[in-house]
């Protein structure tokens, strides 16, 4: 069985590494945050005290990091991981980053004979825990095929989107659409509630009607409608407003690069910026956009 180095054990990486252990892989993990590393250790990973230590001797290096700057700092440059990995090592970056950053990483790896792919995910923390993530992969078909057994231990769907960077393009298209239907769902629910409807009754009606969508059905943003989602626990955990803003920024940069009109994506980014103007809101789950529409008590 292959040895895996897992770097970045946050909301997503922590449960993904735990599923690899459950799948029988030997996982050596690193995260600079001590509590995250300790949790991984309790989940059966070996804990390393640096990314280089975790990656030494690994067959596969997987990263799940907050942004492209951190990914590039980790792998590239004279002190980067690519300098110390052997050509037989395979790299799978699951972070959501710019497609151009993913291409740069994959090209730099290729120069050293290392096969790398971009493999961002969809499904959120619940799918990360359940091992049912969707992986959107970019890179050579043979590299994606080689990654399949490892990805299968963490996910239910593995798509080959196209050459290097295409996984990232698929991911930001998906998340731009997610932001748009989350905002639309929150707006519609508030309109109903402000006009005397119970949000659960309205949700049931729309789920059986033409307004049905993932935000309404699987991730309802109105508190009290659905159990087990961030709205039922004060919008804690889940996918933060800060990360959604990052993805919408990537979508807008990509749209600018291809001269594509994305008026709804731009509006969604503006609304999330308004909501995330308050630092506390940036840490909440992105379904907290519901609060932008709610009236203060007594209004
Ligand atoms: P997170 O902030 O919870 O976790 C990121 C982790 O990376 C942190 O524990 C941090 O300490 C660690 N880290 C930072 N620098 C590091 C380094 N140099 N080496 C090793 N670890 C390092 O973020 P998350 O929610 O787990 O998201 C991770 C990635 O997955 C992001 O790119 C995000 O956009 C994407 N994503 C998140 C979700 C979600 O629902 N949370 C869904 C899909 C995709």
Domain ranges across the chain: 3-163, 169-292
pTM: 0.94
Question: From the DSSP assignment, how many helices (H) and strands (E) are in the chain?
Answer: 14, 9
Examine the residue annotation and report whether 72 is marked as an active-site residue of this protein.
no
Which parts of the chain sit beneath pLDDT 50?
none
Q: Which residue puts its alpha carbon closest to atom 21 of ligand 1?
A: 8
Q: What is the CATH number of domain 169-292?
A: 1.10.1040.10
Q: Whose CA is nearest to atom 8 of ligand 1?
A: 10
What six digits make up the tokens of 204? 């049931």
CA of 76 to the centre of ligand 1 (A): 18
What is the distance in A from the centroid of ligand 1 to the CA of 183?
24
Return the closest-CA partner of residue 290 out of 188, 157, 218, 212. Answer: 188
CATH fold for domain 3-163: Rossmann fold (3.40.50)
**Predicted local distance difference test score (pLDDT) of residue 268:** 98
The pLDDT value given to residue 125: 87
Q: What is the pLDDT of residue 297?
A: 66
Q: How far apart are CA 161 and CA 16, in angstroms?
A: 21
CA of 190 to the centre of ligand 1 (A): 31
Q: What tokens were used for 266?
A: 């731009």
Which residues approach ligand 1 with their CB closer than 6 A? 7-13, 30-33, 36, 51, 64-66, 70, 74, 95-96, 121, 124-125, 238-239, 243
Question: Which letter does DSSP use for residue 117 in this model?
Answer: E
Predicted local confidence at residue 295, as pLDDT: 76
DSSP SS3 for 137: strand
């Amino acid at each position: 069985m292959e040895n895996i180095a897992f770097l970045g054990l946050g909301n997503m990486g922590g449960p993904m590494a735990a599923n690899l252990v459950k799948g029988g892989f030997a996982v050596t993990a690193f995260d600079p945050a001590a509590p995250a590393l300790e949790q991984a250790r309790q989940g059966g990973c070996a804990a390393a005290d640096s990314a280089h230590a975790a990656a030494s001797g690994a067959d596969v290096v997987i990263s799940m990091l907050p942004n492209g700057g951190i990914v590039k700092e980790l792998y590239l440059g004279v002190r980067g991981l690519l300098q110390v990995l052997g050509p037989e090592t395979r790299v799978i970056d699951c972070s959501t980053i710019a497609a151009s950053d993913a291409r740069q990483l994959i090209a730099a790896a290729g120069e050293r004979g290392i096969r790398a792919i971009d493999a961002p995910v969809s499904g959120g923390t619940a799918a990360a825990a359940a091992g049912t993530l969707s992986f959107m992969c970019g890179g050579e078909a043979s590299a994606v095929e080689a990654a399949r057994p490892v990805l299968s231990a963490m996910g239910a769907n593995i798509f080959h989107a196209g050459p290097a960077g295409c996984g990232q393009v698929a991911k930001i298209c998906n998340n731009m659409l997610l932001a748009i239907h989350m905002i639309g769902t929150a707006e519609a629910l508030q309109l109903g509630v402000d006009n005397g409807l119970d949000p659960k009754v309205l949700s049931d009606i729309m789920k059986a009607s033409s307004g049905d969508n993932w935000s309404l059905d699987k991730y309802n943003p109105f508190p009290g409608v659905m159990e087990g989602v961030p709205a039922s626990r004060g919008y804690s955990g889940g996918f933060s407003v800060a990360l959604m803003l990052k993805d919408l920024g990537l979508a807008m940069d990509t749209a600018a690069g291809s001269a594509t009109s994305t008026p709804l994506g731009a509006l969604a980014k503006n609304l999330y910026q308004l909501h995330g103007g308050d630092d506390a809101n940036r840490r909440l789950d992105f379904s907290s956009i519901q609060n932008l529409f709610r009236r203060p008590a007594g209004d």
